[in-house]
Structure 1
Amino acid sequence: MSRKIVVLLNKKAFTMSIKAFLGMGLLGSNFVKAMLRRGDTMQVWNRTASKAAALESDGAKAFSDVRDAVKGANRIHVTLKDDASVDAVLEQASAGFSPGAIIIDHTTTSKDGAVQRTAYWKSKGYTYQHAPVFMGPSNALDASGYMLVSGEPSVVDQLTPELSVMTGKLIQLGAETGKAAAMKLMGNSFLVCFAFTLRDTYAVAKAQGLTVDDILGLFQTWNPGAQVEGRLKRMTSGDLSKPSWELDMARKDTNLFLEAAEKGGTHLSILPTIATVMDEWIGKGFGQHDWTIVANDLRD
């Protein structure tokens, strides 16, 4: 059974739950430090034992055996690498699970993996709740950033108070199991593309003798990020036969990007692929449509 410690302070009783945390990377270790500061009793484990042991100076109790790390804990938090590592570690740890323990997994995983784990652990008598995050180590330490949850409403409602204190905003996505995982992957795909977009933007700028300050100066006056919502709506539901920027013209400019980079001796990562996709749509006869026609095959 789960254990609890009751502390009397200023004649008020405060309940400190015993929690286990598996995975002491940068994110997990800072989550643990923040939990300790909030008064939780933390039992920690990491495959590389030294990373867990380092948290003992902050007040956590480290275990080399994951089965021992989860004993007595009614909440088992997880931040690991992927579906395979989550499945392997939880299976190994399960011999030490307390009856009714709730597993809260912050790992970025596949949607299918989250759905399967929810059903599997329910069949074993435990609750599995996926709660992926848009948070870095500093966010985990100061409870900022964003955490996503979806699934059984009664479980989400039960966990909302304790998850809310771990993050700046807890985003509830409804009753669909696995939707939080899907939304996290979608968001991360944007972040990856965004980074490579900035990389190619910098490459085109550098090839023409422009500096980072030049880029920042333009973006401070003209904010392309303000176009995201409108561009997505137009791309997915607008009338693309009435262009604001023709695909032919966008392709002409893309060729200028490519030429400038080649002349300046800088390497481009994504613009050559973009040019290829544009050429495919122009070849289909859509050159005089809005340039966002390149996503037409994805429209509902």
Structure 2
Amino acid sequence: MGANAEHHPSSKGILMADIAFVGLGTMGSVMAKRLIDAGHTVHVWNRSSAAVDELVAQGAVAAASVGEAFATGTVISILANDSAAESVFSENVLAAAPPDALHINMATVSVDAADRLAERHASASVAYVAAPVLGRPPVAAAGQLNIVAGGPENDIDRAAPYLDVLGKKTWRVGGRPSTANLVKIGVNYNLIHTLQALGESINLVERGGVDGQTFVDILTDAAYTGSAYTGYGRAIAARDYNPSFTVALGLKDLKLTEQAAAGNGASLPTAAVLHELFDAALADPAIADRDWSAIAEITRGRSA
């Protein structure tokens, strides 16, 4: 735990602590609330104040700055992209962190950014764990996320009590933090292919007169039983693209995959096609701000 954290037992005998959460978007707000409900005193900071106010009303403590958040000794963050993470966790902020501070970065960032952040934290003697998450906001609310953790074992051990509240399983993938980000990027690349495969196959059978949801029910009762197929299949069949992960974020993750592939000398033959579909979706005002599964509408629209 952080050097300045104040520990106190909950009614269930679990050790509670003062911690901080930085980045209160769709996922971050849900995750911070789960930590509050678990009995932790959670100091929250966000670049816009509305999400902070909402969580304060639910028991959080507002932090005036990221530096103030670090005074707890343990900061968990989930920011939107590389630039946000690198600007918020600057050299100056890290240099002022207390001794034995720990930062758990749960965002999906590029491998290069993860390496830069790890080096920056090491230079400031701040422990750093990369712990990107697998799952959507309802999964986070239920504490059923899969979490992929990279970093020194003792630092992941320090993070584990909080990760155990947020997820059902933490996968430890290596001592280099960016390894966790590489795994998350690989998972998201599979999901992007899943969205496109669903869009193509649902469109195919719809054009032959078959109800899209009936097809999804058949598909997910037999060959594909995972939550990605059942959840995104239903959304595509119903054209219900209420965003929990937007088209723009999907393209961001596709770009992270392309960058990681270039850095590792890996071939991605279909990435260019997928990239073009995301570009087309972002250029369409009807779906640009919808869920990333709305790329299926590009396939529908191009069908004769």
How do 1:8-27 residues align onto structure 2 when only pairs under 5 Å count?
Answer: 15-27=15-27
What do the CA deviations read for 1:3-61 (whole angstroms, capped 9, x no partner)? Answer: 30435859x6x642111111011211111111111111111011111111110111101
TM-fit CA distance, 1:161: 3.6
* Residue of structure 2 in register with 1:124 after alignment: 124
Q: 1:175 to 1:6 in 2, by over 3 A?
A: closer
* Matched-pair contact (CA < 8 Å) for 1:21–1:32: yes
Letter in 1 for 2:19: K
Runs of 4+ in 1 over 4 A off after TM superposition: 7-10
Q: What's the counterpart of residue 162 of structure 1? A: 162
Residues 118 and 214 of structure 1: is their aligned pair in 2 closer, same or farther, counting only changes over 3 Å? same
Give the direction of change, closer, same or farther, for the CA distance of 1:133–1:177 in structure 2 (3 Å limit): same
Unaligned runs of 5+ in 1: 227-265, 273-300
Do 1:4 and 1:15's aligned partners in 2 also have CA atoms closer than 8 Å? no
- Distance (whole Å) between structure 2 residues aligned to residue 211 and residue 65 of structure 1: 52
In 2, Cα distance between the equivalents of 1:111 and 1:84?
Answer: 13
Q: Deviations over 1:196-221 (max 9, x none)?
A: 11111111112211112431353256
Residue equivalent to 1:209: 209
Give TM-score scaled by structure 1 length. Answer: 0.69
Give the distance between the partners of 1:152 and 1:183, measured in 2 at CA. 17
Distance verdict in 2 for CA 1:24–1:224, change over 3 Å:
closer
Structure 2 counterpart of 1:84, which letter?
S
Counterpart position of 2:172: 172
Higher alpha-carbon Rg: 1
**8 Å Cα contact 2:5/2:19 also seen in 1:** no
Output the CA distance in 1 between the equivalents of 2:129 and 2:221. 43
Q: Indicate if the aligned counterparts of 2:108 and 2:185 stay in contact, CA closer than 8 A.
A: yes
> Which AA in structure 2 matches 1:86?
A
Cα distance 1:23–1:129, how it changes in 2: closer, same or farther (>3 A)?
same
**What CA deviation, in whole Å up to 9, does each residue of 1:53-87 have, x standing for no partner?**
110111101234333333x2111011101111101
Identity %: 22
SS at match of 2:107: coil
Q: Secondary structure at the match of 1:68?
A: helix
Cα pair distance change 1:165/1:217, threshold 3 Å: closer
Unaligned runs of 5+ in 2: 227-296
Q: What SS class does the counterpart of residue 97 from structure 1 fall into?
A: coil
Q: Partners in 2 of 1:140 and 1:224 — Cα distance?
A: 23
- CA distance in 2 between partners of 1:176 and 1:209 (Å): 51
Per the alignment, residue 276 of structure 2 pairs with: none
Do the aligned partners of 2:44 and 2:60 also contact (CA within 8 Å) in 1?
A: yes
Aligned residues: 230
SS of residue in 1 equivalent to 2:89? helix
Q: Give the distance between the partners of 1:158 and 1:5, measured in 2 at CA.
A: 14
Separation in structure 1 between the aligned mates of residue 16 and residue 221 of structure 2, nearest angstrom? 50
Partner of 1:112: 112
**What per-residue deviation string (whole Å, max 9, x for no partner) do you get for residues 254-278 of structure 1?**
xxxxxxxxxxxx9637x99xxxxxx
Matched, 1:88 2:119: no
Whether the 8 Å contact between 1:49 and 1:63 is mirrored in structure 2 is no
Partner SS for 2:174: coil
Aligned residue identity for 1:214: T
**C-alpha separation in 1, matches of 2:58 and 2:125:** 33
Q: Hey, what's the Cα distance between the residues in 2 that align with 1:221 and 1:69?
A: 47
Q: Give, in whole Å, the separation in 1 of the partners of 2:140 and 2:31.
A: 5
